Amino acid sequence: GDSVTQMEGPVTLSEEAFLTINCTYTATGYPSLFWYVQYPGEGLQLLLKATKADDKGSNKGFEATYRKETTSFHLEKGSVQVSDSAVYFCALSRSSASKIIFGSGTRLSIRP
């Protein structure tokens, strides 16, 4: 079945460091891919998405490129801030499905 695998956390970085959180997926066809973020004490919210191969999603300085050949959707940010500390979830959906499938989440902590 469809699944999403993302790097285990926690990931701890210093402010202004470069961030990469790896995500790979298994799915039939051409799924849409998403990154969601969960700030402390809050629900998940959509960060960015890409709906076809080679698309790049971006928001709040974060980017991720849909790589069909490597079945990956890695999240990157050039210079992280303390306010980026949160749990990040990679996810996918297929056009024929009524649901979004999530990974296990990666906790990110940024030191001042």
Partner 1 sequence: ETGVTQTPRHLVMGMTNKKSLKCEQHLGHNAMYWYKQSAKKPLELMFVYSLEERVENNSVPSRFSPECPNSSHLFLHLHTLQPEDSALYLCASSQGAVANTGELFFGEGSRLTVL
Are 102 and 35 in contact by the 8 Å Cβ rule? The answer is no
The minimum distance between CB 94 and partner 1, in angstroms, equals 6
Subset of residues 49 to 78 that bind partner 1, contact rule: CB under 8 A: 49, 51
| 3-state secondary structure string across the chain | CCEEEECCCCEEEECCCCEEECEEEECCCCCEEEEEEECCCCCCEEEEEECCCCCEEEECCEEEECECCCCECCEEECCCCHHHCEEEEEEEECCCCCCCEECCCEEEEEEC
Does residue 44 bind partner 1 (CB under 8 A)? yes
Subset of residues 15 to 34 that bind partner 1, contact rule: CB under 8 A: 32, 34
The minimum distance between CB 56 and partner 1, in angstroms, equals 15
| Contact window for partner 1 (CB under 8 A) among 19-27, 37-45, 58-66, 67-75 | 37-45
Does residue 106 bind partner 1 (CB under 8 A)? no
Looking at the DSSP assignment, which residues form a beta bridge with residue 108? 11, 86
Does residue 8 bind partner 1 (CB under 8 A)? yes
Among 25, 89, 108, 110, binds partner 1 (CB under 8 A): 89
The residue ranges that bind partner 1 (CB under 8 A) are: 3-4, 8, 32, 34, 36, 41-46, 49, 51, 89, 91, 93-105
